[in-house]
Chains A and B, each alone.
Chain A
């Protein structure tokens, strides 16, 4: 299949997104290479069809935001909010990601081969996020559903005010946030994690991860919990 190359220096962000959103012709099943990203914002956002998009270079804010079905790879680092509100498909960052990676993602898979900054997976709602390196503080804040897998370390207040998301960390956790506790990891959990790591292309032994989730003590307002807020 032919690969369509879009040079952002020539086309600009507006034309790129129109093309990838299928507003200027069919895109389903297509393969695209985007060059000269140069840290531009809002690249490959709002895609709705299955396609393969490779972005050469670093990207700015919200790359692949609200993606549906498409597979988007950033060959470089990503700015704030990469794959925010991801619905489906896969977004892969070969470098590092800034804060709020995968924020409020509802589905799909976000893979960050490097490390992610603060608030990774904040308010995640069903997305799976796999980070090859470490993550910053307040990650998975108010995380509602989905899985956050960290092959390195996690910063302070991991999973603060977490709901039903699952967190897996291989390295050190600086501290857990309110209502986030370590949970047992049985064989079934390890098998599910193993499958997710394989899907993300991460060579890591699931048995070396620890699992965290909600203690469910803050689900309803009670005076006894006042100190936790």
Chain B
């Protein structure tokens, strides 16, 4: 207050900006944290479905079939991945996550007939055993890269980038680099591990094509090869991934999470998932490979509505990371004193990088990890995936679709001009698509 005048909020310097300046002045280093972008961006929340009415009829919600299966990788792989639901678990490393968390994700995904994915640092045997369908990531760091694991996987994902940090490499701060994690990555324990931002033996799409050929030769052309990109120049990146021979392309929007990276990356690099889906689909259609090269979309998928909207815009499947961790109690109101000790609270915690996760998900501390029972966690993940699937089916039936892949942009309307422009669907109540009509 200044006299009797009410305070005016400071748009240029809101409290979180002032706080960051103070922190930077104290520490002299960029802020490193986990999770994805927290700024508000146009999202699937800005779209609604146009349920059936007189002009078209819905399917009976509890009686008529609405299938959810998806096949990934039939373009070149002799053993494509067959999933029962179009929701997969995104790549997250053992190291960033506890072994119990990785096992729980595998158990939950397997119970629902879907896949989970390794991460930086390689494959653990617990993860392989728990996951009926496991995607093995080939990352720039090549930590733990092992041809035996490549052959033991069900699919291969060449990671070019990640939505939280397109153009940047990962981090794992020293407090999480335990002896086991360090041993898997051939690094000294306790160091602040940096992951490279670029692959060590290829640059550009022509090289990528040869790298994919090598991976296929090593695995006898059995495994589907995905290429994962962070959403930036999505139309070009997807087209080049297709040209390089990908069976599937994973596009990760800026809301996608990370275990640790510079906040300036998380909040200021990349585009939201909403326009990324549409750009990716346009690229696939331009090359006449839509539905032949599968599109997997990730970054801020939370509900069955998000799943359905991504599919309606043309994705074949989605991938979840942060939301799956929340199913494991990330940010749940448990162990409140431990949140407090970290200087945060349930619902606001993004301190994965500290390794002090109160609920045992993003930690290597055995005491904290023991708080996550993998069997119970697996049930929670299964329940969550089941809910997402049923919600998606509900919306698809309401639009008269007997398969979730039959959802289409015509089933959608946008609530904001921005979302209409980004998704290229009409602003609700109009026929207006910005930039088109």
A residues with CB within 8 A of B = 13-14, 17-18, 21, 23, 41-42, 45-46, 48, 60-62, 65-66, 68, 80-81, 84-85, 87, 99-100, 103-104, 106, 119, 122-123, 125-126, 141-142, 144-145, 161, 163-164, 219-223, 226
Contacts and interface: CB of A to CB of B under 8 A. Distances in A.
A126 B213 contact: no
Contacts of B211: 61-62
B201 A46 contact: no
B191 interface: yes
B141 interface: yes
A161 B194 contact: yes
A213 B217 CA distance: 35
**Most chain A C-beta atoms within 10 Å of own C-beta, residue among B148, B190, B201:** B201
A178 to B, nearest CB: 12
A125 B183 CA distance: 11
A118 to B, nearest CB: 11
9 A-B pairs closest in CB distance: A46-B218, A223-B28, A81-B201, A104-B142, A66-B147, A100-B201, A103-B200, A219-B191, A103-B201
- Interface of A, helix, strand, loop or mixed by DSSP: loop
Given A17-B218, A68-B148, A164-B188, 12 more contacts: A13-B217, A45-B214, A81-B201, A81-B202, A100-B202, A123-B142, A144-B185, A219-B190, A219-B191, A220-B191, A221-B29, A222-B29
Most buried by A among B148, B150, B186: B186
B200 A122 contact: yes
Contact of B196 (A61, A126, A142): A142
A87 B201 contact: no
B336 to A, nearest CB: 30
Contacts of A17: 217-218
B287 interface: no
A37 to B, nearest CB: 15
Contacts of A68: 147-148
A142 B187 CA distance: 11
Specify which of B190, B207, B211 lies most central, judged by the most chain A CB atoms within 10 Å of its CB: B211
Interface string B175-186: 000000000011
- Most chain-B Cβ atoms within 10 A of its Cβ — which of A41, A60, A126? A41
Contacts of A106: 145-146, 186
B142 A85 contact: yes
Interface of B: 27-29, 32, 141-142, 145-148, 150-151, 173-174, 185-188, 190-192, 194, 196, 200-202, 207, 210-211, 213-214, 217-221
8 contacts: A14-B221, A62-B211, A66-B150, A141-B200, A142-B196, A163-B191, A219-B190, A222-B29
Contacts of B196: 123, 142
A46 B141 contact: no
Contacts of B191: 163, 219-220
Contact of B219 (A46, A87, A100, A220): A46
Given A163-B188, A223-B29, A87 B214 contact: no
A103 B199 CA distance: 10
A226 B28 contact: yes
A83 to B, nearest CB: 10
A130 to B, nearest CB: 19
B29 A226 contact: yes
A85 B29 contact: no
B218 to A, nearest CB: 3
